[in-house]
Amino acid sequence: MSFEVQRFDSDTSGTVTLISRWTVQPSGDTAQVYVGQFSDTRAAAADDRSAVVAAHSELVAALSRDIADQIRQAAAGP
């Protein structure tokens, strides 16, 4: 698996942004390649660092779920 993080930051209002592209090629399988993009934002629940860190963590978890969901859908076929 490889992924490129194009943006992963927060602004002064506490809004966190994650934009990335990813590619998964199962080991030994040269024919099947999964490629996707992810872009989302989260607002920190409060105006402090721990809330901003939590928003960053939520986006990483959302990215992980998105990759897994897209691979499952592609593997299931039409």
Chain segment 42-67, per-residue pLDDT in tens: 999 988 899 999 999 999 999 999 99
Q: Where in the chain are the domains?
A: 2-76
Look up the pTM and report it: 0.84
Name residue, tokens 């409060």. 46
Instruction: Tell me what the pLDDT averaged over the chain comes to.
Output: 90
Question: Which region, left, alpha or beta, applies to residue 61 given φ > 0 means left and ψ of -120 to 50 means alpha?
Answer: alpha
pLDDT for 29 equals: 61
pLDDT for 74 equals: 76
Q: How far is CA 45 from CA 14, 39, 52, 67, in A?
A: 8, 19, 8, 25
